[in-house]
Amino acid sequence: MSTHLIGRQAELCSLVLGFLSERLSAKLEKLAEDDPKRAELQAQFQPAVWLEDAARRVGQIQAVTHSLKPIHPDAKGSSLYRDPSSMQPLEEVGSHALGAEFEADVVGNAAALDVYKFLKLEHQGQSLLSLAAQADTDLGAALSSDPAQATAWMAAFAGLSEARGRLSSHTLAKQFYWLVGPDPHDDAGYHLLAPLYPTSLVHRVYQTLQDDRFGDEAKAAREARKAGHWHERPVREYPQLAIQSLGGTKPQNISQLNSERRGNNMLLASLPPVWRSAEIRPVLGTASLFKVFGHRPEARRLTQLLRRFLEGDPARNLETRTQRDEWVEALLEELMLFTAEQQTLEPGWSTDTRCELPATHSAWLDPEGVDDTPPDLIDELARDFANWLNHALRNPLPMGDAEYLHWRKQARELFKAMEREGAL
């Protein structure tokens, strides 16, 4: 390396030398002062020597986003590197959803992973691997005073993300036929697919789940929920989570990211839904439909969320108003679901002598079973909804006329919109 570097070249040179110094120090700490291996190590970590060896060893590893080893540890086929931002966007969750923010994995000889750690070093937001792929002149100057030597090293480093040899599958890899034609009886109407493990996507999922389960903010949110307080971060739960261990005692033999996860790979529960169909009963023995509606689990949950949010005295701004109105709208949608369930009952149930509902509520829930529909039905229901919500929030919040008018307006607008669409 040249000693006459300035500016960006000098910064890159310092980055390289700092990495080599740290690696050497970590190895020397394990040796006695008189150990003859110390001189050998110091010679190995001379910049020119180490960089030449790294340029040779980089061919033993490959940067990938989709790897084969997790499919079967003895499979010898190809792994691939595909920038997620270049993939076709789909509605389904996949590697394409990572966009430009993702971590590439590394497979191959675990003994050469230190080369990848070197190439992951960043300067001004760009990794050395990225700079090598661009044949950056300042990086070249930082690596060697010989331009030809620097160019050769950068070319070798840039090949990290390129496929090794001819693309191939393996007898231990999984394969399946995917129908692409109209006739499943036509053997020519299939593509043979060889799925690979989306290692970059798996790592993002792992990081997200770890943060949701053990992150400081997630813990604070759970404490707030336990205490009945509002918190800006939602609490996310992952029931029946399974952990698949890859690599056994040597997770680095699978890949670099697998090693960082200590071999742990999260598997979300993949189970068919269990449909619980509760018996729908007519609203009898009560003077208001909202006394029954308010006890529905989803109505209680949404009301509690709204109460906790308002108890936190959020800032009076657009974001607060939007969040508040979204929860009220969700309550109104739950009310419409409740209404639709009641309307599946045999028409005329509201004429039962046990029905104590006012005429507006009966006409709302049992429209085909009443003789006359009150002309102010929507206005009356909007008023009753606003009164119910104010009452549900009043303890301990000071709900008054302003809140009542806002809830009423929001309910009336939704009911009117549904009436125009023919849903009422």
- What is the pLDDT, as a whole number, of residue 181? 92
Distance CA 273, CA 384 (A): 35
Using CA atoms, how far apart are residues 189 and 186, in angstroms rounded to an integer? Answer: 5
Q: Please say whether the beta carbons of 264 and 206 come within 8 A.
A: yes
The reported pLDDT for the residue numbered 3 is 56
The proportion of the chain whose per-residue pLDDT surpasses 90, expressed as a percent, equals: 56
Q: Give the integer Cα–Cα distance in Å for 197 and 67.
A: 5
Element containing residue 139 per DSSP (H, E): helix 137-143
Write down the pLDDT at residue 154: 93
Dihedral angle sign, alpha carbons of residues 318, 323, 328, 332: positive
- Cβ atoms of 48 and 1 within 8 Å: the answer is yes
User: Does pLDDT of 366 surpass 90?
Assistant: yes
Predicted confidence (pLDDT) at residue 2 exceeds the cutoff of 60: no
Q: CA 219 to CA 212: how far, in whole Å?
A: 8
Residue 66 three-state SS: strand
Tell me how far the alpha carbon of residue 395 is from its chain's centroid: 37
Express each pLDDT in 318-335 by its tens digit: 999 999 999 999 999 999
pTM, whole model, 2 decimals? 0.59
Number of other CB atoms surrounding residue 194 within 10 Å? 17
Task: Provide the pLDDT for residue 333.
Answer: 93
Q: In the predicted model, what is the mean pLDDT of residues 356-377?
A: 92
Q: Residues 236-268: pLDDT tens digits?
A: 989 889 999 998 888 988 988 999 999 999 999
> What's the mean pLDDT when you consider all of the chain?
90
Digit-coded pLDDT (tens) for 94-152: 999 998 888 889 988 888 888 999 998 989 888 898 899 899 999 999 999 899 999 99
Q: Which residues pair with 242 in a beta bridge?
A: 267
Six-digit token string for 74: 């003895």
Distance CA(319)–CA(330), nearest Å, equals 17
Domain boundaries, the chain: 7-65+109-161, 289-420
- Contact between residue 36 and residue 28 where contact means Cβ atoms under 8 Å apart: no
